[in-house]
Amino acid sequence: MRCLVVGLLTVLGVAAEEDVMTDEVYNESYRPQFHFSPKKNWTNDPNGLVYYAGEYHLFFQHNPFGIDWGNMHWGHAVSKDLMHWEELPIAIAPDEHGTCFSGSAVVDWNNTAGFQTGDEKVIVAFYTGAPVPEAPGGPKFTQCIAYSNDRGRTWTKYEKNPVVEHIAAQNRDPKVFWHGASKQWIMALYLDKHDYALFASKDLKAWTRLSDVQVPGCGECPDFFELAVDGDPHRTKWLFLGANGNYLVGTFDGKAFVPESGPHQGDYGNNFYATQSYNDIPAADGRRIQIAWMNGGKYPEMPFNQQMSFPCELTLRSLPDGPRMCRRPVREIESLRGSDHAESDRVLHPDENALAEVSGDLFDINAEFELIDAAKFGFKIRGETMSYSVKDKAISCLGKSAPLSPIEGRIRIRILVDRTSLEVFGNDGMISMTSCFLPKVRDRGIEAFAKGGSIKIVSMHVYSLRSAWRTGGQ
């Protein structure tokens, strides 16, 4: 069955008649095909990103009872490759401490909390108990824990919750990790406005406040981690992020974070929030992998509401203004690649389309351009334009722009195209733009263009992508 939606759909502000499929699970017309979304109902922040025993765990803010925000539980999905997700039963549900707001998870390798009962290491989840709305005289916003002895399949709440009492306002979103240098657990916690605090613990249950951090222009959902500069393990910096992905670069001695630069913009798109990165990825892999909530997307007539961003590897590179975080899609996307439309050493003139024979709704586009005399160049994807302005040295897409200077006269662009999202990366992740869009279902066209002059395509690969849901997923 197909549901014919007729009328004013919010498709670039244009009236459209659309043939929208709603009944084929995981293949609905606006269902992301390689971004995670729950089978049904509302989702927002990614929570508890942790790797254990060959599985990436993705918990998420979830309303199991409705399509809109509310009744916050921790939904749960697992994946072996970050592409194919299996949705599991609800992990953590509301109780006397309130609903279950955002947080993080760790593997307690040395059983510091004493929760382990079998051979499996314990996964410990930190979440905020949060009344919504907060009842006068009722419980305040506090930090609680739950733990699992069976690889995250069942969960037990700590009988002495909360482990961090109310401090200020709606303090929430604990990000916890093991800090090897000081041999203690560290928690970054949002307090209020632009204020955060750091805490330490030896056993995950008793916490001591260490110091405070302020991130101008940021609030909620902290993330805090160390990255090697240019891949050199002997040169590292610490990054402290807020929910919008903006970050400070600095140092951390186990007690205090000292900012050296920032805040720097982490993403330039329309829909990027509540960022979190994975704990406990094996040292042999060594990546810092981040997922965000693509907040504010539209999914008319769908059984689900909202989606996650595509997992990205974070690196810290020496750029002219200092060390800066770069984002690029994880390499696992290559497992979904199908046919490749390739171009190289081609001069693209105005009014030409280098992709006239290509159509579809799922793409991984990799292109390198050499400037000649074009004023603008870029791609038109399912009716939406991503362009680079040579004069402005900026990429524009879906009403947003990001600064990007050529490197030795060249610009590298990567675009992930899913059914309801465009994620643009410039010069190997120096900038990223994470945005939702709602194309016409029947518009599957794609163009590569130049305006006001010519551009040289040094190389271009336009890979069609297979659906992750139908190649080993649910």
Tokens 């699970």 locate to 25
d(CA 81, CA 78): 9
d(CA 263, CA 240): 9
Beta partners for residue 46, in sequence order: 60
Tokens 């965000």 locate to 292
Distance of CA 204 to the CA centre of its chain: 26
d(CA 94, CA 96): 7
d(CA 73, CA 38): 13
Tokens 């690029």 locate to 328
- Long-range (24+ apart) CB contacts under 8 A made by 442-446 are 442/18, 442/19, 443/382, 443/383, 444/359, 444/360, 444/361, 444/382, 445/359, 445/380, 445/382, 445/383, 446/355, 446/358, 446/359, 446/360, 446/363, 446/379, 446/380, 446/381, 446/382
The residues, any chain, with a CB within 8 Å of residue 318's CB and separated by 6 or more, are 229, 230
d(CA 140, CA 100): 13
Beta partners for residue 148, in sequence order: 123
* Cα dihedral across residues 116, 121, 122, 124: positive or negative: positive
DSSP annotation string for 401-457:
EEE---BTTEEEEEEEEETTEEEEEETTTTEEEEEE----TT--BEEEEEESS-EEE
DSSP letter for 65, please. Answer: T
Kindly list the catalytic residues.
45
